Structure 1
Amino acid sequence: MTGVYKVGETIIKAEEIPSRLKRYQLMPQFLREVILDEATASIACTEEEVAAAIEQFAAQHQLTSPEAQQAWLKSHRMTREDLEAIARRPIKLEKFKQQQWSHKVESYFITRKTGLDQVVYSLIRTKNPGLAHELYFRISEGEQDFAEAAREYSEGPESRTGGLLGPVSLSQPHPAIGKLLSVSQPGQLWAPRPLSEWMVLIRLEKFIPAQLDESMRRRLIEELFETWLREQIAEVGSLEPLQTEVSSVS
């Protein structure tokens, strides 16, 4: 028998749910949650972990008493078992991430390191080539401070900071700037060069190599997880009804 649901005065048939999820732009989130439920189904949580997660959930939602928890459950049409299931999900998900990718972080870090290194650099941009060369010689000869020149002459928002930008990863600036910074030494001032409609002066102030500390490990595991999840969602594609054959018995 086909499932039928009622929301207010609206009758919704089960076969209508996929089209409604798409219409409400909820399909990607729905698929994400189903995939995660399947991936973490076999992962167990201890009673202590669940109790701590419920306590944290209650604190986040200001459910400071049993009465407040019951009122919240009632307003969300949930049971205590539903709440425990919600509390388990982030625990199981974190365990899943560690199981799948913690042993891959070191090699992934090596492949990503160039894009993770950070720099602090100074920039002056102007549409006047003559001014750009004049400023280059003034700064390189010590006749004018870079920050002072940037505040006075740079035509971009960096003028407000004396041309100083960063720390940023090497992948964040324009590719031509990032390439230049990657081969610079701290304090190195580059002669003016064209970039789009600008002439730019660039000086590397500080190079900050990426370190595989605990914060970086968490970031990279999250990157690996999100990449995997996008692939899973793309593979699933959508929510489609199962076609079943009904055989008649004579």
Structure 2
Amino acid sequence: MNPSLEVGNVIITPENIFPLLAEKQMIAALAREIVLDDAIADIECTIEETAMAEQQFFMQMQLNPNDKEKLQTWLQKNYLTREQLQNRILRGMKIEKYKEKTWATELQPYYLKRKRQLDKVIYSLIRTKNPGQAQELYFRVIEGEKEFSELATQHSQGAEAETGGLIGPVELNVPHPEIAQRLMTSQPGQILPPCRIGDWIVILRLEKYIPAQLDQNMRRRLLDELFNTWLTETIQKQVKFNF
């Protein structure tokens, strides 16, 4: 007798499982899990790491591991064996250890390569589609007739008008590339002459430049970037459809 799973009026069998996975767009997620299983197969956790992971898991799930009856009920409800549960508990920790093992030595050069995009800026912006108005506003602000924020509130034609033209802090890969380039080459407080960017004429003022730092949060982020790039490329290479 072939195994099957009945969910309402749907009976899932070995014959229809693949079309169902494809229809529900779950093949990529399954492939991801299989690739990760292979990657972390040789990763070991210490007794202390295992105990910590188990404690966090059971607290999160509000389960008492010493209550055998309730634990068994939970396992049956989630279609898991005790061994499968153990693998699930340690999976996240093993993935993190795999990231460290694989990319820790690449982190510094990758950070230096990405740093210019990771630096942040706070800047002020006035934009209009009228070149003549842009020139007038520029001269009014550099001559001190009006504050930049006041002119932005009154005349800027984007959402920045609600904040007095102030934007940020944002990473330098967020603004339009031409805006980012102009901000990178200016000094805080410098008001840049109007320039055309797409359909807009913009006036810019750099308020603050905030260099990126390779702290713990940045380190974790870059490790995730390297890991996700590897995972995407590996899935694309290894997943093959045979009809």
Using the alignment, how far apart are the partners of 1:14 and 1:35 within structure 2?
A: 22
Shift of 1:3: 5.4
Question: Match of 1:206, SS?
Answer: strand
1:17-56 matches, within 5 Å, as 17-56=17-56
Using the alignment, how far apart are the partners of 1:115 and 1:216 within structure 2?
A: 13
Shift of 1:162: 0.6
Shift of 1:239: 5.3
Using the alignment, how far apart are the partners of 1:221 and 1:95 within structure 2?
A: 11
**Cα–Cα, structure 1 residues 239 and 45, in superposed 2: closer, same or farther, change >3 Å?**
farther
Q: Does 1:165 align with 2:189?
A: no
TM norm structure 2:
0.91
Letter in 2 for 1:56: Q
1:145-202 deviations in whole A, cap 9, x for unaligned?
1111111111111011111001111111011111111111111111111222221111
RMSD, aligned α-carbons = 2.0
Contact residue 58 and residue 69 of structure 1 kept, 8 A = no
Instruction: Give the unaligned 5+ runs of structure 2.
Output: none
Residue from 79, 82, 87 that aligns with 2:81: 79
TM norm structure 1:
0.89
Which residue is 2:99 aligned to? 97
Contact residue 118 and residue 209 of structure 1 kept, 8 A = yes
Instruction: Give the unaligned 5+ runs of structure 1.
Output: 242-250
Shift of 1:216: 1.1
Identity of aligned residues (%): 47
Using the alignment, how far apart are the partners of 1:127 and 1:113 within structure 2?
A: 33
Which residue is 2:198 aligned to? 196
1:1-250 matches, within 5 Å, as 4-8=3-7, 10-63=10-63, 66=67, 69-238=71-240, 240=242
Shift of 1:4: 4.3
Letter in 1 for 2:25: Q
**Cα–Cα, structure 1 residues 237 and 81, in superposed 2: closer, same or farther, change >3 Å?**
closer
Which residue is 1:244 aligned to? none
Letter in 1 for 2:14: A
Contact residue 27 and residue 238 of structure 1 kept, 8 A = no
Number of positions where the alignment pairs a residue of Structure 1 with one of Structure 2? 240
Contact residue 132 and residue 201 of structure 1 kept, 8 A = yes
**Cα–Cα, structure 1 residues 200 and 70, in superposed 2: closer, same or farther, change >3 Å?**
same
Contact residue 18 and residue 240 of structure 1 kept, 8 A = no
Contact residue 120 and residue 166 of structure 1 kept, 8 A = yes
Letter in 1 for 2:43: I
Letter in 1 for 2:114: R
Using the alignment, how far apart are the partners of 1:234 and 1:75 within structure 2?
A: 34
Using the alignment, how far apart are the partners of 2:241 and 2:51 within structure 1?
A: 34
Shift of 1:69: 3.8
